[in-house]
């Protein structure tokens, strides 16, 4: 992959996590389901369900529904329980690659089955838009696509595999991106198949 073809601030770190670390992260996700089960959120206004199911780690979690839209909340919308603490592997990852003077506050956990997609969007629900977004892939391969600050601009794509990390900082933080294909059966990490994506975000500006 030629990173020069991608927006400034975009970083692709293939095989950042080895198989042992991937298993440890997967175990943390499975344990988190006990208090923060995966659920299927809905789009603002239309109420259309997303094609992914999700949960969160951290003091805050990203949620969405028809009534209140996109936002961050301190508790699970269905159980009312606080989100579980993130695994240390993610804390270390953020410290090593985010180049930000404060820890991440939310880790969105998305589960993709073979038919799931994530349309082009910009992560812009945070106050701390100067902080990078750090994304970890676990399980099946996926085609990640990123464009520019205009939704209909030219895009580039790459295949992300289990253990890969993508960092959206600088100009890339304002760029549209998404996942337009999952490749079922390309990994045995996720029980029953599929892909897990962990997205680390700083929500508030440090004070």
Q: Please give the pLDDT value at position 175.
A: 97
- 48 falls within a domain: yes
Does 207 fall in a domain? Answer: no
> Looking at the domain assignment, is residue 82 inside a domain?
yes
Q: Does a structural domain hold residue 45?
A: yes
Confidence of residue 102 (pLDDT cuts 50, 70, 90): very high
Domain assignment of residue 191, yes or no? yes
* Domain annotation covers residue 134: yes
Q: Which residues span the domain enclosing 53?
A: 3-201
- Domain presence at residue 206: no
The answer to whether residues 148 and 120 touch, using CB atoms and an 8 Å cutoff, is: no
pLDDT-based confidence at residue 4 (cuts at 50, 70, 90): low
Q: In this prediction, what percent of the chain has a pLDDT beyond 70?
A: 98
| Whether residue 66 has pLDDT greater than 80 | yes
Count of structural domains within the chain: 1
Average pLDDT on 1-30 reads: 91
- Got the DSSP string for the chain? --GGGSPTTEEEETT-S-HHHHHHHHHHHHHHTTTS--B--B-TTT-PBPSSEEEEESSBEEE--TTT-SEEESB-TTT-PBPPPPPHHHHHHHHHHS--SS---EEEEEEE-TT--EEEE-----S-TTSPEEEEEEESEEEEEE--SSTTS--EEEEE-TT-EEEE-GGGGGS-EEEEEEETTS-SSSTTS-EEEEEEE--SPP-
How far is the C-alpha of 96 from the C-alpha of 90, rounded, in Å? 10
Nearest to residue 125, comparing CAs of 80, 178, 166, 64?
64
Residue among 182, 132, 133 nearest 162 (CA): 182
Under the banding of pLDDT at 50, 70 and 90, the label for residue 5 is confident
CATH number (domain holding residue 175): 2.60.120.590
- What is the total residue count of the chain? 207
**Residue whose C-alpha is closest to residue 52's, from 167, 179, 155, 162:** 179
Integer-rounded Cα radius of gyration of the chain: 16
Q: Sheet with 118-121: list strands edge to edge.
A: 118-121, 177-183, 141-146, 156-160
Tell me: the pLDDT tens digits for 167-206? Answer: 999 999 999 999 999 999 999 999 999 999 999 999 999 9
């Amino acid at each position: 992959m030629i990173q020069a073809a991608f927006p400034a601030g975009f970083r692709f770190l293939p095989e950042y996590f080895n198989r042992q670390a991937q298993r440890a992260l997967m175990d943390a996700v499975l344990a988190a389901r006990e208090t923060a089960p995966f659920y299927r959120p809905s789009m603002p206004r239309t109420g259309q369900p997303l094609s992914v199911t999700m949960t969160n780690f951290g003091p805050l979690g990203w949620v969405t529904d028809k009534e209140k839209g996109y936002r961050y909340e301190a508790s699970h919308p269905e159980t009312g329980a606080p989100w579980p603490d993130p695994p240390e592997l993610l804390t270390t990852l953020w410290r090593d690659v985010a180049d930000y003077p404060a820890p991440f506050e939310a880790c969105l956990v998305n589960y993709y089955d073979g038919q799931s997609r994530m349309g082009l969007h910009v992560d812009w629900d945070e106050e701390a838009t100067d902080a990078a977004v750090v994304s970890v892939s676990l399980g099946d391969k996926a085609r990640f696509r990123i464009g520019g600050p205009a939704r209909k601009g030219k895009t580039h794509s790459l295949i992300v595999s289990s253990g890969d990390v993508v960092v959206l900082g600088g100009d890339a933080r304002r760029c549209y991106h998404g996942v337009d294909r999952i490749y079922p059966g390309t990994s045995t990490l996720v029980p029953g198949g599929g892909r897990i994506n962990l997205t680390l975000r700083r929500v508030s500006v440090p004070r």
